Amino acid sequence: MALEALTGALGALHTGAYLTDDEGCVIAVNAHAEQLLARPGAELVGRDAHDVLHRNRHGEPIARAQCPVRQAIFAGRTAQGADEWIERGDGSILPVSWLVTPCDVGDRDTVTLVIFHPRDAPCLPAELPERPAASLSELERLALLAETTTTLTATLDVDEALRRLVKLVLPRLADWAVIDLITERDEVWRPAVVHAENGTLVNREDLQGPMPPVPEGSPMPLSRALRGVSSALAGPETYQGPPDSGIAVEQRRLFSVTGMHSAAIAPIRGVREIVGAITLGRSERPEPFTAADIALLEDIARRAGLALANARLYQRQRKVAETMQRHLLPQLPSVPGLEMTARYLPAPNASQVGGDWYDAFALSDGATALAIGDVVGHDLDAAAGMAQLRNMLRAYAWAQHEPPSKIVEWLDHASLHIAEASMATLIYARTTMAEDGRCEMTWTNAGHPPPLLVTHDGVARFLTDGHGILLGIEAHEAPMGRVDATVTLPPGSTLVLYTDGLIEAPGRSLDEGLDRLRRHAASLAHRPLEPFTDHLLERSRPPRNEDDVALLAVRIPD
């Protein structure tokens, strides 16, 4: 997705630009480059950019080791120059200034952006004064906009997008960066006030937090930006008169505390709504912002708005899915002779909600049913499939006094014809209390990680019997029937049912995850059930976990 966004952004650049892969081959060309090079982009894509374009002043090919553009591409660093030549389609030589910058697109090893324009094209009239040292050249501005697009579209987390936005503009453009966002309830929240101090970005939490509402009709710069009316330049004098709103009071305080003498403010626009506003301020550097800076800030804010709108949309969808799944998960019953607790942790970061679930309920014959499962997939379909399987399992288990293997066989057959879940793993168990106080459990396992039984003395073992294939495989592919296994749960022992998110992690084998879970569970054997469960999750869950986790723990009292 980030590469597509970067490729699309090439068209917005008003100079020649192309992208290369990690081998220096062209992967995209914009229309301005086609015009400058007098050749179609299709003629360049897939070819080595150095071989087809780079020449010396006499139009002769140059050695790869002597080409500064190629050296920058392969070094993965930002570089620029003003003394190179490119061969056009008609054989003529075009003197160019150029800039090379690597881009992070996530799904490829390396993508590099190359920007160039004719060296003899006047960028500024000769009579204009020399630009301030703190301002950016045209190439630097174009590179910053390209970097903004790739950096912000590479995340779907709002907070992370804001951190990246601040790092893009500080200290390159300003000493201060202030971001105000409009919440879903049309309230204003200031999540970021950041100061660049000696190369370090410092958050000023005392200036962050809730803001007064946006006043209608206010002519003050921030109010206009938050309404999406316009961008503006501002200074301390802007807010020295009688304040027309609470926001004006906060802005006066901002200028006073930060010492900003000049600020540029622009709205952050999403696809259909105003997301917020960004303010850049200067306190240490003496030069004020200009109209040219406003134009650049508007371009940055426009890209930030699209990225933040996408991140917000994703988080809303994720919240809907997670809320749906949490409401589908049951309240645990109160069962004499058993103590139970459960946990559900959604997948972090960009992972979508999955189909992990647990269940426990009383059966019509007095036994207690325990179940845990995982529907394949990470989306709303997985969550919906989980709900269907759970409800069908409850219906079969309540109506039929059959062994777990038989119940799961019926469930498996039904899932192939009337459920929306494609495939799933499952453990279904029946626990009964004998007259002498012994607790017995019979279970069957459909491709799920094995239950873990921990005695009061800290002896932990996996219950590997009763294992069979997962649900959702056609009968001709599963010739063997399902089997049951039975175990007596000793007094004081703890049974742990869990999903694979607790034991699986990239770069770690399944055996390592299982062993880690077993050792931690054994060390916690004497803890009460609630802290036992919390600590087990905290210690066993992989640090780079990309999956959700469901856990059901059952304690047999002494």
Length of the chain: 558
pLDDT tens-place string over residues 205-255: 999 999 999 988 888 999 999 998 888 899 999 988 888 889 999 999 999
The letter for the amino acid at 167 is: K
pLDDT tens digits, one per residue of 276-319:
999 999 999 889 998 888 888 988 988 888 888 888 877 776 66
Count CB neighbours of 236 within 10 A. Answer: 17
Contact (CB, 8 A) for 487 and 453 = yes
Q: Which pLDDT score is estimated for 354? A: 61
For 2-124, CATH gives: 3.30.450.20
> What's the CATH code, domain 155-319?
3.30.450.40
Q: How far apart are CA 163 and CA 335, in angstroms?
A: 49
Three-class SS state of 529: helix
Please, which residues bridge with residue 462 across strands?
452
Tokens describing residue 407: 């119940």
Tell me the average pLDDT across 167-179: 92
The mean per-residue pLDDT over the stretch 352-374 comes to 87
Confidence band for 371, pLDDT divided at 50, 70 and 90: very high
Question: pLDDT tens digits, residue range 498-532?
Answer: 999 899 887 788 899 999 999 999 999 999 999 99
**Taking residues 331-347, what's their average pLDDT?**
86
Decide if 213 contacts 187 (C-beta within 8 A): yes
- Token readout for 365 is 């014959």
Q: Where are the domains of the chain?
A: 2-124, 155-319, 329-555
pLDDT surpasses 50 at 131:
no
DSSP track, 427-473: EEEEEEE-TTS-EEEEEEEESPPPPEEE-TTS-EEE---SEEPPBT-
For all residues of the chain together, what is the average pLDDT? 84
Domains 2-124 and 155-319 share a fold: yes
Percentage of residues of the chain with pLDDT beyond 70: 87
Q: Is the pLDDT of residue 321 over 80?
A: no
CA angle (115, 119, 122) in 5-degree steps: 105
Lowest mean pLDDT among 54-68, 344-358, 450-464: 344-358
pLDDT at 75: 75
Measured distance CA(522)–CA(112) in Å, rounded: 51
State the sign of the Cα–Cα–Cα–Cα dihedral 30, 31, 36, 40: positive
Least confident of 18-22, 73-77, 203-207, 347-351: 347-351
Dist CA 275 CA 268 (whole Å): 5
**Span 170-188, average pLDDT:** 90
Residue 239, pLDDT score: 87
Instruction: Flag the least confident range among 27-41, 358-372, 478-492.
Output: 478-492
Per-residue pLDDT band for 124 (boundaries 50, 70, 90) equals very low
| Distance, CA of 558 to CA of 553 (rounded, Å) | 16
Q: What is the pLDDT of residue 444?
A: 97
Q: How far apart are CA 358 and CA 558, in angstroms?
A: 25
* Buried-exposed string 248-277: b where 16+ CB fall within 10 A, e elsewhere: bebbbebbeebebbbbbbbbbbbeeebbbb
Q: What is the CATH number of domain 329-555?
A: 3.60.40.10
